[in-house]
Amino acid sequence: MKPSLLVVDDEVAFLESMAYSLKVQGYDDVTTQSDPTKVPILLEQRQFDLAFLDINMPGMDGLELLGLLKEKSPTTECIMITANESVPLVVRAIKLGAYDYLVKPIEPDQLHHAMDRALEHKQLLEVVASRQSTDMNELLEQPEAFQHILTCDPAMLQLLREAELHARSDIPILVTGETGVGKELMARAIHNASSRADGPFVAVNMLALSQGLFESALFGHAKGAFTGATESQPGYLGQAQGGTLFLDEIGDLPMELQGKLLRVLQEREYTPVGRTRPRQADVRFVAATHQDLPRLVEQGTFRNDLYYRLRFAQLRIPPLRHRKDDIHLLARTLLQQSIRPDTMLPSETVSVLMRHDWPGNVRELQGLLEAAVNLAGEGVLLPQHLHLPVSDAPVSSASTVLSLDAVEPLAEVERKHILAAYEAMDNNKTHTAKALGISLPTLHRKLKAYQVK
């Protein structure tokens, strides 16, 4: 279903130009209005997915109209249009609910880029809202205990559903993924989704356990068991009784200590240092690592039997660069919920975020945003505040290896690439758009221009 668009501007020539430009790109449902005071009546009759509002208009200025529109139709995304870029005005507009702004004269590429981003944002908000719906589509369903893991990626949502199923039993779970993807967040969600949710969640960083203190720290010790043991300590296993013990960075556990952990997993019991009677290990084990454990097993630095004992179920969290839609969702949510709610995130800034590879994943994204808002004095987060390269793709000159006659027009290269992807995806537009890394409206527009249904 194509989006419905509203354009409000007191300049009739501008309205006609906008309507023509939008319709050429395949957007047929375009309503224009030169009198802003008539928009409230229009909103009584129908709703719009996206509205373009001129800021300076007689009778009712764009900011007043924006407030009214957001009150009557909160789900309508709004892009402000201004002849003179004014940061204070833009900030006010964003606080009133505008998504972005454009400065006249508007280039077609700028218009459609901003529009695509706004429509994508609307889709993301609908996905987030749908999580609390009882009749939501199964593909977008997210288990309640995993609501704190922000995602709209189908593969990630499928992973969360698998995690929920595994959480219902007491089998050990191995969570893998690059640094910063949220492995501990996943472990906590598994704990909250389990029958042990009322018990403790105890996290242990295996890197922090020295060989000499490993048994004492993990198993606990009796008073007087060794010099300095002035009182009994339960150890991490004792603290986690009835709950979940999270073994972080398990791949870094020294080989000589792995056997001691393996025995606990096999026998489900342990003996505190200085005691002779074993105790039951009534805990659920969840381990995590960023390392390739099968490779470590091959190299002889990780025990094969421990690896298979830990990975009764394995959950591999994909890196952020493989979840492009989540970058947009996470950036806006992090800003609004934990960093600075009044910060504006223009479409050009989102584009830079989307092009970055994020080797540090969600952790890197959060840290970068926290630093960037310190530089955004007026609350508008611009690309230069991110200190990221404008493009991560290497730039090369084709003229050094190709003759002019051999160069194929870029539009034709794009057409062939899109049509090839469309055919490879069995003419499924949703899957094609995701594979190409573009929005669904953009794909619809391209296919219509290629006269493909």
Residues 6+ apart with CB under 8 A from 233: 216, 220, 221
**Residue 22, pLDDT above cutoff 80:** yes
The CATH number that domain 398-449 falls under is 1.10.10.60
Nearest to 413 by CA among 369, 444, 440, 446: 446
Structure tokens that stand for 377 in this block: 């004095």
Residue 406: per-residue pLDDT: 40
Nearby residues of 52 by Cβ (< 8 Å), 6 or more positions away: 5, 6, 7, 8, 9, 18, 78, 79, 80, 81, 102
What is the pLDDT, as a whole number, of residue 394? 36
Look at 356 and 134; give whichever has higher pLDDT: 356
For 310, the 3-state DSSP assignment is helix
What pTM did the predictor assign? 0.62
pLDDT at 154: 83
Q: Where are the alpha helices (DSSP H) in 87-231?
A: 87-95, 108-130, 154-167, 183-193, 214-219
- CA dihedral (24, 27, 28, 31) positive or negative: negative
The pLDDT score that the predictor gives to residue 10 is 92
Give the pLDDT of residue 434: 67
What is the Cβ-side half-sphere exposure of residue 374, based on CA atoms within 13 angstroms?
5
- List where CATH 3.40.50.300 sits in the chain: 142-318
CATH 1.10.10.60 residue ranges of the chain are 398-449
Q: What is the pLDDT of residues 115-132, one digit of tens each?
A: 877 887 777 667 555 544
Domain with CATH 3.40.50.2300 in the chain: 5-130
Look up tokens 């926290």; give the residue.
370
CATH number for the domain running over 321-386: 1.10.8.60
The tokens describing 297, both together, are 């097993």
Greatest extent of the chain over all pairs of C-alpha atoms, in Å: 90
Of the ranges 101-105, 245-249, 444-448, which is most confident?
A: 245-249
Q: Which of 113-117, 224-228, 440-444 is least confident?
A: 224-228
User: pLDDT digits over 283-326, tens only?
Assistant: 999 999 999 999 999 899 999 999 988 988 899 999 999 998 88
Answer whether CATH 3.40.50.300 is correct for domain 142-318: yes
> d(Cα 210, Cα 54) in Å, to the nearest integer?
64
The predicted structure's pLDDT at residue 224: 62
List Cβ neighbours of 173 (8 Å cut-off, separation of 6 or more): 163, 166, 167, 187, 190, 285, 286, 287, 311, 312, 313, 314, 315
Residues near 371 by beta carbon (within 8 Å), at least 6 away in sequence:
387
pLDDT tens, position by position, 369-391: 999 988 887 678 888 889 887 55
Residue 382's pLDDT is 86
Q: Out of 3.30.1490.20, 3.20.20.70, 3.40.50.2300, 3.40.30.10, which CATH number does the structure's domain 5-130 have?
A: 3.40.50.2300
Q: Where in the chain is the domain with CATH 1.10.8.60?
A: 321-386
Share of the chain above pLDDT 90, in %: 33
Q: Who's near 267: CB < 8 A, 6+ residues apart?
A: none
